[in-house]
Amino acid sequence: MAAWALEARSYERMPRRNLFRRDSWEFGHDSAAEERPLSEPRKRRTATMFVYATLFFAGAAFTAVAGDKFAQMNASEDATSASAAADSTSTDTTTDATTTTTNATSARAESALDGAPAPARASAPAASPSQSDSRASSGSPALRPAPATTAPTSAGGGGSSSGSPTRAAPAGKKDRAAHRKPSVVLLPATKPMQVPEIEGPASAATIWLNRALPDPTPPALRLSPKFARQLKLASKRTGVDWAVLLGVLRAKGLNGHSPADKGTLLKLGARLASLGKHTAGAGGTWATMLAYDGSSAFADKVAALARYDHAVGLSSLVRGLEASKRSLEDGILNDPLINVYPGGRDDIAKDKVDVRVLAAILYLKQSFGQVTVSCLISGHRLYARPGVISAHIFGRAVDISGLGNTPILGHQQPGGITEQAVRDILLLPGEVMPKQVISLLGLGGPSFPLADHYNHIHIGW
């Protein structure tokens, strides 16, 4: 009994929240500190409703703005896709597949710059009257045409009124498209691409790469200064022209820095001097070479090489043509027997002409006594044909309109001065041999005829 009373007293001392912890929701809070005033939940609910209302209206406003932007983007993409579809449709309907894209682009660019609508293509489908009226009233240019739509036809016949009508665009999009200014993109000007030029007959076509050419006389093809001194000494002792001695060696295939030694030069000079005494009145150097070798082709080759050596000079054969280019230019500009038009003289004075062209002009003057140059760079058109830049523009071609005070026009018959000039050009040394010799005559090799070269000889590298 005493134990029970003592245990009951200990239970009374324990806090009631521990005794009735499980039933606190049923009996309520016992202490005054744990009670909450009734007005506090009401304020919390009001604040929560205000926050949710603010978030709702903010989200609604954001959704409205985003929807408007998205609609504008869709409208611009629809207009762009319609313009691209119309452009591709009009481009695909051209008859020439190789020039379709270029013609369509140039037509649109010219119409944009001039402010006039682009010309309509014959194969494009005709627009309906309603579309024409809407374009005329909106003032939209032809740079961004809308694709023409046709109403589907019924099964009984084509084009009948029983078909379903074409769906019209919303009024809002039409108004925005009417007031939208067309965007015109002007591409920057580009330089014409250098395309390899192919000319001549199919069996022996000439390919022009239009690139800078190296020195035609590299060190391996130049004469040594020692050999040049021995050559002049042998010429002085034997009385034979140094260019003829060198021409005979080159025609025999003796090239390099020193084609022969001093003793060989003296023996060759003595032999040619002896033959020259017997053929003095029978043709000069050519007759002497014919008597020496017995071949007219050999005589022609030696005579041509001798004229070329005199034209460029012994110093150029030792130093190289590029190193002597200034002296060759001065020789052309100061020679009264070489007639060059004013623009061509300016091209030569400004060092724009290739040294091969200069050597050929001096060579023809040495052969015929007088040369008339009608075209170098200035005055020639840019393109030799559509898309192919002429070799004249790069300073690697010359047009000869007269030789020996005789015009090429009217003198291109067989055996005339034009045939003689072409044959002499084809006897030039290999390092300066041209790639094109065009006239009305085709004599083989790089020479071939073209009808529009009736008044000049075109020489190109």
pLDDT at 81: 55
Report yes or no on 190 lying in a domain: no
With respect to residue 452, please indicate whether it lies within any of the assigned structural domains.
Answer: yes
User: Is 16 a domain residue?
Assistant: no
One domain, residues 240 and 379: no
Q: What is the pLDDT of residue 157?
A: 41
DSSP state of 430: G
Ordered mean pLDDT values, 10 residues apiece, the chain (461 residues): 49 48 44 50 79 82 74 62 50 44 45 43 42 40 41 40 45 53 53 50 54 84 96 95 96 92 94 84 81 93 96 96 96 96 95 96 97 93 67 90 95 94 96 94 92 93 88
Q: What is the pLDDT of residue 383?
A: 65
The answer to whether residue 39 is domain-embedded is no
* 332 and 441 within one domain: yes
Residues 375 and 461 in one domain: yes
| Whether 248 and 393 share a structural domain | no
Q: 284, 319, 354: which is the final residue of a domain?
A: 319
Q: Is residue 136 part of a domain?
A: no
The number of C-alpha atoms within 13 Å of 73 and in the hemisphere containing its C-beta is: 6
pLDDT of amino acid 60: 78
Distance CA 57, CA 366 (A): 99
- Structural domain harbouring 311: 219-319
In this structure, are 353 and 205 located in the same domain?
yes
First-residue to last-residue Cα distance in the chain: 138
The count of domains in the chain is 3
30 lies in some domain: no
> How many Cβ atoms are within 10 Å of 311's Cβ, its own excluded?
21
Residues 356 and 208 in one domain: yes
28, 43, 77, 176, 404 from 35: Cα distances, Å:
9, 17, 65, 65, 131
Enter the DSSP assignment of 405.
T
State both tokens at 165.
């009508």
Residue of 287, 331, 303 lying closest to 246 (CA atoms)? 303
| Rounded Cα gap, residues 231 and 309, in angstroms | 13
Q: In terms of residues, how long is the chain?
A: 461
The residue among 319, 335, 350 that closes a domain is: 319
Same domain, 225 and 293: yes
Q: Are residues 338 and 309 in the same domain?
A: no
Distant-in-sequence contacts of 6-13, Cβ < 8 A, 24+ apart:
none
Looking at the domain assignment, is residue 25 inside a domain? no
Shared domain for 303 and 374, answered yes or no, is no
Rounded Cα distance between 388 and 396, Å, is: 15
Q: Do 340 and 332 touch, CB atoms closer than 8 A?
A: yes
Q: What is the 3-state secondary structure (H, E, C) of 310-349?
A: HHHCHHHHHHCCCCCHHHHHHHHHCCCCEEECHHHHHHHH
What is the number of alpha carbons within 13 Å of residue 282 lying toward its C-beta? 10
Q: Which residues contact 345 (CB under 8 A, 6 or more apart)?
A: 333
Q: Which of 319, 337, 361 is the last residue of a domain?
A: 319
Same domain, 331 and 403: yes
Question: Rounded distance, CA 44 to CA 355, Å?
Answer: 99
DSSP code for 284: T
> Is 417 found in the same domain as 344?
yes
CATH of the domain at 439: 3.30.1380
Query: Domain for residue 163, yes or no?
Result: no
- Residue 64: its pLDDT value, please? 76
Regarding whether 311 and 231 lie in a shared domain, the answer is: yes
Q: What is the rounded CA–CA span in Å between residue 132 and residue 449?
A: 56
How confident is the model at residue 48, as a pLDDT?
85
Spatial distance between the Cα atoms of 395 and 415, rounded to a whole number of angstroms: 30
Q: Are 357 and 436 in contact (CB under 8 A)?
A: no
Give burial (CB, 10 Å; 0-12/13-18/19+) of 135. middle
For the record, the structure tokens of 206 come out as 């000439």
CB 225 within 8 A of CB 368: no
